[in-house]
Structure 1
Amino acid sequence: MPRFAANLSLMYTEHPFLDRFAAASADGFEAVEYLFPYAYEAAELRRRLDDNGLRQVLFNAPPGDWDAGERGTAALPGRERETRTGIDRALEYAAELGCERVHVMAGLAAPEATDAERARYRDTYRENLAHAAGRAAAAGVDVLIEPINTRDMPGYFLNRQADAHALVREVGAARLKVQLDLYHCQIVEGDLTATLRRDLPTGRVGHLQIAGVPDRHEPDAGELNIRHLFDVVDALGFDGWIGCEYVPRAGTSEGLGWLTDYRGEPA
Protein backbone atom coordinates (compact mmCIF):
# COMPACT_ATOMS: atom_id res chain seq x y z
CA MET A 1 0.00 0.00 0.00
CA PRO A 2 1.32 3.50 -0.79
CA ARG A 3 2.98 5.39 2.04
CA PHE A 4 1.86 8.97 2.67
CA ALA A 5 3.81 11.95 4.01
CA ALA A 6 2.16 15.12 5.32
CA ASN A 7 3.41 18.33 3.74
CA LEU A 8 3.82 20.66 6.71
CA SER A 9 4.11 23.80 4.59
CA LEU A 10 0.53 23.43 3.32
CA MET A 11 -1.12 21.16 5.90
CA TYR A 12 -1.70 21.82 9.61
CA THR A 13 -1.28 25.56 9.13
CA GLU A 14 -3.78 26.04 11.96
CA HIS A 15 -0.73 25.26 14.18
CA PRO A 16 2.63 27.02 14.48
CA PHE A 17 5.14 25.27 12.22
CA LEU A 18 7.05 23.40 14.92
CA ASP A 19 3.78 22.09 16.38
CA ARG A 20 2.72 20.60 13.04
CA PHE A 21 4.97 17.58 13.55
CA ALA A 22 2.96 16.45 16.56
CA ALA A 23 -0.33 17.14 14.77
CA ALA A 24 0.70 15.02 11.78
CA SER A 25 1.83 12.19 14.02
CA ALA A 26 -1.44 12.29 15.95
CA ASP A 27 -3.30 11.76 12.67
CA GLY A 28 -1.26 8.66 11.89
CA PHE A 29 1.32 10.04 9.50
CA GLU A 30 4.72 8.37 9.73
CA ALA A 31 6.59 10.87 7.56
CA VAL A 32 6.64 14.55 6.68
CA GLU A 33 7.90 16.85 3.96
CA TYR A 34 7.87 20.63 3.61
CA LEU A 35 9.30 23.36 1.42
CA PHE A 36 12.24 24.73 3.39
CA PRO A 37 13.87 24.01 6.75
CA TYR A 38 16.30 26.91 6.88
CA ALA A 39 14.40 29.19 9.28
CA TYR A 40 15.04 26.60 12.01
CA GLU A 41 18.08 24.90 13.44
CA ALA A 42 18.48 21.40 12.05
CA ALA A 43 18.86 20.01 15.57
CA GLU A 44 15.47 21.40 16.58
CA LEU A 45 13.78 19.88 13.55
CA ARG A 46 15.49 16.57 14.28
CA ARG A 47 14.12 16.70 17.81
CA ARG A 48 10.57 17.26 16.53
CA LEU A 49 10.92 14.28 14.21
CA ASP A 50 12.26 12.03 16.94
CA ASP A 51 9.76 13.15 19.57
CA ASN A 52 6.89 12.28 17.24
CA GLY A 53 8.23 9.12 15.60
CA LEU A 54 8.43 10.74 12.16
CA ARG A 55 10.70 10.47 9.16
CA GLN A 56 11.75 13.44 7.06
CA VAL A 57 11.40 12.36 3.42
CA LEU A 58 11.76 15.57 1.38
CA PHE A 59 12.54 19.27 1.45
CA ASN A 60 13.79 21.83 -1.07
CA ALA A 61 17.23 23.30 -1.55
CA PRO A 62 17.42 27.08 -1.06
CA PRO A 63 15.36 28.74 -3.84
CA GLY A 64 16.93 32.19 -4.04
CA ASP A 65 14.86 35.07 -2.69
CA TRP A 66 11.49 33.33 -2.24
CA ASP A 67 9.80 36.36 -0.69
CA ALA A 68 10.79 38.45 -3.71
CA GLY A 69 9.21 35.89 -6.05
CA GLU A 70 12.19 33.74 -6.99
CA ARG A 71 11.44 30.04 -7.43
CA GLY A 72 14.86 28.45 -7.62
CA THR A 73 18.17 29.29 -9.26
CA ALA A 74 19.48 26.05 -10.76
CA ALA A 75 18.62 26.98 -14.37
CA LEU A 76 19.60 30.64 -14.09
CA PRO A 77 22.88 31.59 -15.81
CA GLY A 78 25.14 33.59 -13.52
CA ARG A 79 23.70 32.06 -10.33
CA GLU A 80 25.87 28.91 -10.36
CA ARG A 81 27.87 29.72 -7.23
CA GLU A 82 24.71 30.51 -5.24
CA THR A 83 23.04 27.32 -6.48
CA ARG A 84 25.97 25.13 -5.52
CA THR A 85 26.40 26.76 -2.13
CA GLY A 86 22.70 26.12 -1.56
CA ILE A 87 23.13 22.44 -2.45
CA ASP A 88 25.81 22.10 0.18
CA ARG A 89 23.60 23.76 2.77
CA ALA A 90 20.71 21.47 1.89
CA LEU A 91 22.93 18.41 2.22
CA GLU A 92 24.03 19.55 5.69
CA TYR A 93 20.36 19.66 6.74
CA ALA A 94 19.68 16.34 5.03
CA ALA A 95 22.44 14.69 7.04
CA GLU A 96 21.08 16.00 10.33
CA LEU A 97 17.49 15.13 9.48
CA GLY A 98 18.18 11.73 7.95
CA CYS A 99 16.45 12.92 4.76
CA GLU A 100 17.26 11.04 1.55
CA ARG A 101 15.67 13.45 -0.98
CA VAL A 102 16.27 17.11 -1.81
CA HIS A 103 14.28 18.94 -4.49
CA VAL A 104 16.32 21.44 -6.50
CA MET A 105 14.11 24.09 -8.09
CA ALA A 106 14.93 25.32 -11.61
CA GLY A 107 13.76 28.91 -11.38
CA LEU A 108 11.75 31.25 -13.60
CA ALA A 109 12.71 31.91 -17.20
CA ALA A 110 12.34 35.40 -18.62
CA PRO A 111 9.05 35.51 -20.54
CA GLU A 112 10.77 37.12 -23.53
CA ALA A 113 13.60 34.54 -23.62
CA THR A 114 14.66 33.52 -27.12
CA ASP A 115 15.26 29.91 -28.11
CA ALA A 116 19.00 30.49 -27.72
CA GLU A 117 18.50 31.92 -24.24
CA ARG A 118 16.28 28.98 -23.23
CA ALA A 119 18.99 26.63 -24.47
CA ARG A 120 21.42 28.42 -22.15
CA TYR A 121 18.98 28.00 -19.24
CA ARG A 122 18.86 24.29 -19.98
CA ASP A 123 22.64 23.95 -20.21
CA THR A 124 23.03 25.76 -16.90
CA TYR A 125 20.38 23.55 -15.31
CA ARG A 126 22.00 20.36 -16.58
CA GLU A 127 25.45 21.38 -15.34
CA ASN A 128 24.16 22.36 -11.91
CA LEU A 129 22.18 19.12 -11.62
CA ALA A 130 25.26 17.06 -12.52
CA HIS A 131 27.21 18.89 -9.82
CA ALA A 132 24.39 18.47 -7.28
CA ALA A 133 23.96 14.77 -8.02
CA GLY A 134 27.65 14.18 -7.56
CA ARG A 135 27.69 15.96 -4.21
CA ALA A 136 24.50 14.21 -3.11
CA ALA A 137 25.71 10.74 -4.08
CA ALA A 138 28.54 10.99 -1.57
CA ALA A 139 25.94 11.78 1.10
CA GLY A 140 23.49 9.04 0.07
CA VAL A 141 20.87 11.59 -1.00
CA ASP A 142 18.73 11.78 -4.15
CA VAL A 143 18.44 15.08 -6.00
CA LEU A 144 14.93 15.58 -7.42
CA ILE A 145 13.60 17.82 -10.17
CA GLU A 146 9.89 18.57 -10.51
CA PRO A 147 7.84 19.74 -13.50
CA ILE A 148 5.50 22.47 -12.20
CA ASN A 149 2.43 23.85 -13.96
CA THR A 150 2.60 27.40 -15.26
CA ARG A 151 -0.86 28.32 -14.01
CA ASP A 152 0.33 28.19 -10.39
CA MET A 153 3.91 29.22 -11.15
CA PRO A 154 4.04 31.27 -14.38
CA GLY A 155 7.40 31.11 -16.11
CA TYR A 156 8.75 28.09 -14.26
CA PHE A 157 11.39 26.55 -16.49
CA LEU A 158 10.45 22.87 -16.17
CA ASN A 159 6.84 21.93 -16.95
CA ARG A 160 6.62 18.53 -18.65
CA GLN A 161 7.49 15.00 -17.54
CA ALA A 162 9.32 14.13 -20.77
CA ASP A 163 11.63 17.12 -20.35
CA ALA A 164 12.46 16.13 -16.78
CA HIS A 165 13.20 12.53 -17.76
CA ALA A 166 15.35 13.70 -20.69
CA LEU A 167 17.48 15.76 -18.32
CA VAL A 168 17.87 12.83 -15.93
CA ARG A 169 18.95 10.56 -18.78
CA GLU A 170 21.43 13.13 -20.10
CA VAL A 171 23.07 13.70 -16.74
CA GLY A 172 23.20 9.95 -16.21
CA ALA A 173 23.61 10.12 -12.43
CA ALA A 174 21.95 7.40 -10.37
CA ARG A 175 21.07 9.90 -7.65
CA LEU A 176 19.21 12.32 -9.96
CA LYS A 177 15.48 11.56 -10.18
CA VAL A 178 12.09 13.06 -11.05
CA GLN A 179 9.55 14.25 -8.51
CA LEU A 180 6.17 13.43 -10.08
CA ASP A 181 3.44 15.64 -8.68
CA LEU A 182 0.16 14.29 -10.03
CA TYR A 183 -1.54 17.65 -9.47
CA HIS A 184 0.91 19.52 -11.70
CA CYS A 185 0.98 16.70 -14.24
CA GLN A 186 -2.80 16.60 -14.57
CA ILE A 187 -2.98 20.34 -15.22
CA VAL A 188 -0.22 20.32 -17.83
CA GLU A 189 -0.59 16.93 -19.50
CA GLY A 190 -3.31 14.72 -18.00
CA ASP A 191 -3.25 10.99 -18.83
CA LEU A 192 -2.01 10.16 -15.34
CA THR A 193 -2.52 6.41 -15.45
CA ALA A 194 -0.44 6.10 -18.63
CA THR A 195 2.20 8.41 -17.16
CA LEU A 196 2.51 6.29 -14.03
CA ARG A 197 2.67 3.07 -16.02
CA ARG A 198 5.29 4.54 -18.34
CA ASP A 199 7.55 6.28 -15.83
CA LEU A 200 7.46 4.42 -12.52
CA PRO A 201 9.03 1.22 -13.94
CA THR A 202 12.04 3.22 -15.22
CA GLY A 203 13.32 3.78 -11.68
CA ARG A 204 13.75 7.48 -12.46
CA VAL A 205 10.83 8.64 -10.26
CA GLY A 206 12.02 9.24 -6.73
CA HIS A 207 8.94 10.79 -5.12
CA LEU A 208 5.23 11.31 -5.80
CA GLN A 209 2.91 14.10 -4.66
CA ILE A 210 -0.85 14.49 -4.79
CA ALA A 211 -3.53 17.17 -4.49
CA GLY A 212 -7.04 17.68 -5.78
CA VAL A 213 -7.44 19.22 -9.21
CA PRO A 214 -8.21 22.00 -10.01
CA ASP A 215 -8.21 23.75 -6.62
CA ARG A 216 -5.35 21.98 -4.79
CA HIS A 217 -7.51 20.89 -1.88
CA GLU A 218 -7.88 17.34 -0.57
CA PRO A 219 -6.99 14.84 -3.31
CA ASP A 220 -10.52 13.39 -3.46
CA ALA A 221 -11.95 16.86 -4.20
CA GLY A 222 -12.15 17.46 -7.93
CA GLU A 223 -11.50 15.53 -11.08
CA LEU A 224 -9.01 12.86 -9.97
CA ASN A 225 -9.99 9.29 -9.10
CA ILE A 226 -7.43 8.96 -6.37
CA ARG A 227 -8.34 5.43 -5.32
CA HIS A 228 -7.68 4.29 -8.88
CA LEU A 229 -4.38 6.20 -9.02
CA PHE A 230 -3.21 4.82 -5.68
CA ASP A 231 -4.09 1.32 -6.84
CA VAL A 232 -2.04 1.85 -10.00
CA VAL A 233 0.93 3.03 -7.91
CA ASP A 234 0.53 0.02 -5.65
CA ALA A 235 0.29 -2.42 -8.56
CA LEU A 236 3.49 -1.00 -10.05
CA GLY A 237 5.36 -1.73 -6.82
CA PHE A 238 6.45 1.86 -6.10
CA ASP A 239 8.11 1.77 -2.68
CA GLY A 240 8.68 5.50 -2.21
CA TRP A 241 6.47 8.10 -0.53
CA ILE A 242 3.47 10.07 -1.70
CA GLY A 243 3.60 13.61 -0.37
CA CYS A 244 0.23 15.17 0.48
CA GLU A 245 0.98 18.63 -0.86
CA TYR A 246 -2.46 20.20 -0.73
CA VAL A 247 -4.28 23.07 0.98
CA PRO A 248 -7.04 21.73 3.26
CA ARG A 249 -10.45 23.27 2.69
CA ALA A 250 -11.06 23.56 6.43
CA GLY A 251 -9.15 21.95 9.30
CA THR A 252 -6.44 19.53 8.19
CA SER A 253 -7.51 16.68 10.46
CA GLU A 254 -11.15 17.12 9.50
CA GLY A 255 -10.26 16.68 5.84
CA LEU A 256 -8.44 13.35 6.14
CA GLY A 257 -11.48 11.20 5.40
CA TRP A 258 -9.97 10.33 2.00
CA LEU A 259 -6.97 8.75 3.73
CA THR A 260 -9.05 6.92 6.34
CA ASP A 261 -11.27 5.54 3.59
CA TYR A 262 -8.34 4.40 1.49
CA ARG A 263 -6.69 2.65 4.40
CA GLY A 264 -9.97 1.02 5.35
CA GLU A 265 -9.81 2.40 8.88
CA PRO A 266 -12.95 2.98 10.96
CA ALA A 267 -14.16 6.57 10.90
Structure 2
Amino acid sequence: MPRFAANLSTLYREHDFLDRFAAASADGFDAVEYLFPYAYDTAELRYRLDAHGLRQVLFNAPPGDWDAGERGIAALPGREAELRESVDRALGCAVAIGSPRIHMMAGVVPPGADRAACRDVYLANLAYAARQAESAGIDILIEPINTRDMPGYFLNRQADAHAIVQEVGAVNLKVQLDLYHCQIVEGDLTATLRRDLPTGRVAHLQIAGVPDRHEPSEGEVDFGHLYAVVDALGFDGWIGCEYVPRAGTSEGLGWLREVRGEHA
Protein backbone atom coordinates (compact mmCIF):
# COMPACT_ATOMS: atom_id res chain seq x y z
CA MET A 1 0.00 0.00 0.00
CA PRO A 2 1.29 3.50 -0.77
CA ARG A 3 2.78 5.47 2.12
CA PHE A 4 1.24 8.90 2.59
CA ALA A 5 2.86 11.95 4.22
CA ALA A 6 0.80 14.88 5.44
CA ASN A 7 1.87 18.23 4.03
CA LEU A 8 1.66 20.51 7.06
CA SER A 9 1.76 23.67 4.96
CA THR A 10 -1.53 22.83 3.25
CA LEU A 11 -3.23 20.43 5.68
CA TYR A 12 -4.40 21.10 9.25
CA ARG A 13 -4.39 24.85 8.77
CA GLU A 14 -7.16 25.01 11.36
CA HIS A 15 -4.30 24.47 13.86
CA ASP A 16 -1.19 26.50 14.64
CA PHE A 17 1.74 25.06 12.72
CA LEU A 18 3.45 23.32 15.62
CA ASP A 19 0.16 21.69 16.63
CA ARG A 20 -0.26 20.17 13.17
CA PHE A 21 2.20 17.38 13.97
CA ALA A 22 -0.10 16.01 16.68
CA ALA A 23 -3.14 16.35 14.42
CA ALA A 24 -1.47 14.45 11.59
CA SER A 25 -0.38 11.67 13.92
CA ALA A 26 -3.88 11.41 15.38
CA ASP A 27 -5.24 10.83 11.88
CA GLY A 28 -2.80 7.98 11.30
CA PHE A 29 -0.08 9.67 9.28
CA ASP A 30 3.43 8.31 9.86
CA ALA A 31 5.29 11.08 8.03
CA VAL A 32 5.11 14.78 7.24
CA GLU A 33 6.44 17.28 4.75
CA TYR A 34 6.01 21.04 4.49
CA LEU A 35 7.37 23.99 2.58
CA PHE A 36 9.89 25.53 4.97
CA PRO A 37 11.26 24.89 8.48
CA TYR A 38 13.24 28.09 8.84
CA ALA A 39 10.85 30.06 11.07
CA TYR A 40 11.12 27.42 13.79
CA ASP A 41 13.81 26.08 16.04
CA THR A 42 15.04 22.75 14.71
CA ALA A 43 15.11 21.25 18.21
CA GLU A 44 11.41 22.08 18.59
CA LEU A 45 10.61 20.54 15.20
CA ARG A 46 12.54 17.40 16.08
CA TYR A 47 10.72 17.20 19.41
CA ARG A 48 7.34 17.40 17.67
CA LEU A 49 8.34 14.67 15.23
CA ASP A 50 9.63 12.35 17.92
CA ALA A 51 6.79 13.01 20.35
CA HIS A 52 4.22 11.99 17.76
CA GLY A 53 6.08 9.14 16.08
CA LEU A 54 6.52 10.97 12.77
CA ARG A 55 9.20 11.07 10.12
CA GLN A 56 10.17 14.22 8.29
CA VAL A 57 10.45 13.21 4.63
CA LEU A 58 10.79 16.49 2.71
CA PHE A 59 11.03 20.28 2.86
CA ASN A 60 12.21 23.02 0.52
CA ALA A 61 15.49 24.90 0.47
CA PRO A 62 15.15 28.65 1.11
CA PRO A 63 13.33 30.10 -1.93
CA GLY A 64 14.63 33.66 -2.05
CA ASP A 65 12.11 36.38 -1.19
CA TRP A 66 8.90 34.35 -1.05
CA ASP A 67 6.73 37.30 -0.01
CA ALA A 68 7.94 39.23 -3.05
CA GLY A 69 6.95 36.38 -5.36
CA GLU A 70 10.24 34.54 -5.68
CA ARG A 71 9.88 30.78 -5.95
CA GLY A 72 13.44 29.58 -5.73
CA ILE A 73 16.71 30.92 -7.09
CA ALA A 74 18.54 27.87 -8.43
CA ALA A 75 18.01 28.83 -12.09
CA LEU A 76 18.57 32.56 -11.63
CA PRO A 77 21.94 33.85 -12.88
CA GLY A 78 23.70 36.14 -10.44
CA ARG A 79 22.30 34.50 -7.32
CA GLU A 80 24.93 31.77 -6.98
CA ALA A 81 26.43 33.00 -3.70
CA GLU A 82 22.99 33.23 -2.11
CA LEU A 83 22.15 29.79 -3.44
CA ARG A 84 25.19 28.26 -1.77
CA GLU A 85 24.26 29.86 1.54
CA SER A 86 20.73 28.50 1.18
CA VAL A 87 22.06 25.00 0.52
CA ASP A 88 24.15 25.13 3.68
CA ARG A 89 21.19 26.35 5.70
CA ALA A 90 18.86 23.69 4.30
CA LEU A 91 21.37 20.90 4.93
CA GLY A 92 21.84 22.01 8.53
CA CYS A 93 18.09 21.82 9.08
CA ALA A 94 17.79 18.48 7.30
CA VAL A 95 20.47 16.90 9.46
CA ALA A 96 18.95 18.32 12.64
CA ILE A 97 15.42 17.07 11.99
CA GLY A 98 16.32 13.93 10.06
CA SER A 99 14.94 14.77 6.63
CA PRO A 100 16.47 12.64 3.86
CA ARG A 101 15.27 14.94 1.06
CA ILE A 102 15.40 18.64 0.18
CA HIS A 103 13.50 20.15 -2.73
CA MET A 104 15.44 22.91 -4.48
CA MET A 105 13.11 25.23 -6.36
CA ALA A 106 14.31 26.47 -9.74
CA GLY A 107 12.66 29.86 -9.64
CA VAL A 108 10.48 32.12 -11.77
CA VAL A 109 12.37 33.58 -14.71
CA PRO A 110 11.26 36.87 -16.27
CA PRO A 111 9.92 37.01 -19.83
CA GLY A 112 12.73 37.24 -22.34
CA ALA A 113 15.32 35.73 -20.02
CA ASP A 114 18.13 33.75 -21.61
CA ARG A 115 16.86 30.26 -20.84
CA ALA A 116 20.13 28.65 -21.90
CA ALA A 117 21.99 30.76 -19.34
CA CYS A 118 19.37 29.91 -16.72
CA ARG A 119 19.76 26.22 -17.47
CA ASP A 120 23.55 26.40 -17.20
CA VAL A 121 23.30 28.08 -13.80
CA TYR A 122 20.64 25.60 -12.70
CA LEU A 123 22.81 22.60 -13.54
CA ALA A 124 25.84 24.10 -11.81
CA ASN A 125 23.83 24.92 -8.69
CA LEU A 126 22.27 21.47 -8.58
CA ALA A 127 25.67 19.82 -8.94
CA TYR A 128 26.96 21.91 -6.04
CA ALA A 129 23.97 21.09 -3.86
CA ALA A 130 24.21 17.38 -4.60
CA ARG A 131 27.91 17.34 -3.74
CA GLN A 132 27.28 19.10 -0.44
CA ALA A 133 24.39 16.79 0.44
CA GLU A 134 25.98 13.49 -0.52
CA SER A 135 28.12 13.04 2.60
CA ALA A 136 25.02 13.52 4.78
CA GLY A 137 23.06 10.92 2.81
CA ILE A 138 20.53 13.51 1.65
CA ASP A 139 18.85 13.66 -1.77
CA ILE A 140 18.32 16.92 -3.63
CA LEU A 141 15.03 16.96 -5.54
CA ILE A 142 13.75 19.01 -8.45
CA GLU A 143 10.06 19.31 -9.28
CA PRO A 144 8.31 20.38 -12.49
CA ILE A 145 5.56 22.87 -11.57
CA ASN A 146 2.68 23.98 -13.75
CA THR A 147 2.70 27.55 -15.05
CA ARG A 148 -0.99 28.11 -14.40
CA ASP A 149 -0.32 28.13 -10.66
CA MET A 150 3.21 29.50 -10.92
CA PRO A 151 3.61 31.56 -14.12
CA GLY A 152 7.16 31.74 -15.42
CA TYR A 153 8.48 28.85 -13.33
CA PHE A 154 11.58 27.48 -15.05
CA LEU A 155 10.91 23.73 -14.86
CA ASN A 156 7.56 22.43 -16.08
CA ARG A 157 7.89 19.03 -17.77
CA GLN A 158 8.94 15.61 -16.53
CA ALA A 159 11.23 14.84 -19.45
CA ASP A 160 13.15 18.07 -18.84
CA ALA A 161 13.62 17.19 -15.16
CA HIS A 162 14.91 13.72 -15.98
CA ALA A 163 17.25 15.12 -18.63
CA ILE A 164 18.71 17.53 -16.07
CA VAL A 165 19.18 14.78 -13.49
CA GLN A 166 20.95 12.61 -16.04
CA GLU A 167 23.13 15.48 -17.25
CA VAL A 168 24.27 16.44 -13.75
CA GLY A 169 24.94 12.77 -13.06
CA ALA A 170 24.83 12.94 -9.26
CA VAL A 171 23.47 9.80 -7.61
CA ASN A 172 21.58 11.87 -5.03
CA LEU A 173 19.88 14.26 -7.45
CA LYS A 174 16.32 13.01 -8.02
CA VAL A 175 12.91 14.04 -9.34
CA GLN A 176 9.88 14.98 -7.27
CA LEU A 177 6.83 13.97 -9.32
CA ASP A 178 3.75 15.94 -8.32
CA LEU A 179 0.87 14.27 -10.12
CA TYR A 180 -1.28 17.40 -9.78
CA HIS A 181 1.23 19.54 -11.68
CA CYS A 182 1.91 16.76 -14.17
CA GLN A 183 -1.78 16.32 -15.00
CA ILE A 184 -2.20 20.03 -15.68
CA VAL A 185 0.87 20.28 -17.91
CA GLU A 186 1.05 16.88 -19.59
CA GLY A 187 -1.60 14.41 -18.48
CA ASP A 188 -1.05 10.73 -19.32
CA LEU A 189 -0.21 9.98 -15.69
CA THR A 190 -0.28 6.19 -15.89
CA ALA A 191 2.19 6.14 -18.77
CA THR A 192 4.36 8.69 -16.97
CA LEU A 193 4.53 6.55 -13.83
CA ARG A 194 5.24 3.39 -15.84
CA ARG A 195 7.98 5.18 -17.76
CA ASP A 196 9.68 7.09 -14.94
CA LEU A 197 9.36 5.13 -11.69
CA PRO A 198 11.43 2.15 -12.94
CA THR A 199 14.35 4.48 -13.71
CA GLY A 200 15.00 5.01 -9.99
CA ARG A 201 15.20 8.75 -10.58
CA VAL A 202 11.86 9.55 -8.88
CA ALA A 203 12.31 9.85 -5.13
CA HIS A 204 9.01 11.39 -4.05
CA LEU A 205 5.42 11.72 -5.27
CA GLN A 206 2.77 14.29 -4.42
CA ILE A 207 -0.98 14.39 -4.97
CA ALA A 208 -3.93 16.76 -5.08
CA GLY A 209 -7.27 16.77 -6.87
CA VAL A 210 -7.27 18.38 -10.31
CA PRO A 211 -8.20 21.09 -11.19
CA ASP A 212 -8.98 22.73 -7.83
CA ARG A 213 -6.24 21.23 -5.62
CA HIS A 214 -8.66 19.86 -3.04
CA GLU A 215 -8.83 16.26 -1.80
CA PRO A 216 -7.46 13.69 -4.27
CA SER A 217 -10.88 12.01 -4.27
CA GLU A 218 -12.22 15.04 -6.17
CA GLY A 219 -11.76 16.09 -9.77
CA GLU A 220 -10.69 14.51 -13.02
CA VAL A 221 -7.96 12.09 -11.87
CA ASP A 222 -8.67 8.53 -10.73
CA PHE A 223 -6.09 8.37 -7.96
CA GLY A 224 -7.29 4.95 -6.85
CA HIS A 225 -6.10 3.61 -10.18
CA LEU A 226 -2.79 5.46 -9.83
CA TYR A 227 -2.14 4.07 -6.34
CA ALA A 228 -2.50 0.59 -7.81
CA VAL A 229 -0.04 1.48 -10.56
CA VAL A 230 2.44 2.84 -8.02
CA ASP A 231 2.12 -0.34 -5.96
CA ALA A 232 2.53 -2.57 -9.00
CA LEU A 233 5.73 -0.73 -9.91
CA GLY A 234 7.18 -1.36 -6.45
CA PHE A 235 7.64 2.30 -5.53
CA ASP A 236 8.66 2.41 -1.87
CA GLY A 237 8.90 6.17 -1.40
CA TRP A 238 6.38 8.56 0.12
CA ILE A 239 3.36 10.25 -1.42
CA GLY A 240 2.98 13.78 -0.10
CA CYS A 241 -0.58 15.01 0.38
CA GLU A 242 -0.11 18.58 -0.81
CA TYR A 243 -3.71 19.64 -1.25
CA VAL A 244 -6.00 22.27 0.25
CA PRO A 245 -8.90 20.62 2.11
CA ARG A 246 -12.32 21.74 1.00
CA ALA A 247 -13.43 21.92 4.64
CA GLY A 248 -11.61 20.56 7.70
CA THR A 249 -8.60 18.34 7.11
CA SER A 250 -9.68 15.41 9.29
CA GLU A 251 -13.24 15.58 7.96
CA GLY A 252 -11.92 15.25 4.41
CA LEU A 253 -9.79 12.15 4.97
CA GLY A 254 -12.43 9.67 3.89
CA TRP A 255 -10.35 9.02 0.79
CA LEU A 256 -7.40 7.93 2.97
CA ARG A 257 -9.55 5.64 5.11
CA GLU A 258 -10.86 4.08 1.91
CA VAL A 259 -7.36 3.46 0.57
CA ARG A 260 -6.41 1.84 3.88
CA GLY A 261 -9.56 -0.25 3.91
CA GLU A 262 -10.79 1.47 7.04
CA HIS A 263 -14.33 2.48 7.92
CA ALA A 264 -15.38 5.82 9.27
Query: Per the shorter chain, which TM-score range?
Result: over 0.9
Supply the AA of the counterpart residue of 2:122.
Y
Structure 2 unaligned runs (5+)? none
- CA deviation after TM superposition for structure 1 residue 142, in Å: 0.2
> Which residue does 1:160 correspond to in 2?
157
Of 170, 187, 191, the match for 2:188:
191
Aligned to 1:9: 9
1:121-140 correspondence runs (5 A): 121-140=118-137
Alignment partner for residue 222 of structure 1, among 219, 222, 225?
Answer: 219
Q: Distance in 1 between matches of 2:128 and 2:96?
A: 21
Structure 2 residue identity aligned to 1:255: G
- Asked if residue 54 in structure 1 is aligned to residue 51 in structure 2, the reply is no
- Provide the residue aligned with 1:85 in structure 2: 85
**Which position in structure 1 is the counterpart of 2:199?**
202
Instruction: Within 5 Å, give how 1:174-189 maps onto structure 2.
Output: 174-189=171-186
Structure 2: distance between partners of 1:92 and 1:184: 29
Q: How does 1:31-50 map to 2 (within 5 A)?
A: 31-50=31-50
Percent identical across equivalent pairs?
78
- Name the CA distance, whole Å, in 2 between partners of 1:136 and 1:194: 31
2:168 aligns to what?
Answer: 171
> 2:255 corresponds to which residue?
258
- Counterpart position of 2:18: 18
Structure 2 match to 1:63? 63
Q: How does the TM-score come out when normalised to structure 1?
A: 0.98
In the TM superposition, residue 266 of structure 1 has moved relative to its aligned partner by 1.7
User: 2:208 aligned with 1:211, yes or no?
Assistant: yes
Q: Partner of 1:234 in structure 2?
A: 231
Which SS does the other structure have where 2:135 is aligned? helix
Please state whether the residue corresponding to 2:170 is helix, strand or coil: coil
Structure 1 stretches (4+) deviating beyond 2 angstroms? none
After TM superposition, give the deviation of residue 112 of structure 1 in Å.
2.2
Cross-structure match for 1:146 = 143
2:239 pairs with 1:246: no
Letter in 1 for 2:240: G
CA RMSD of aligned residues (A): 0.4
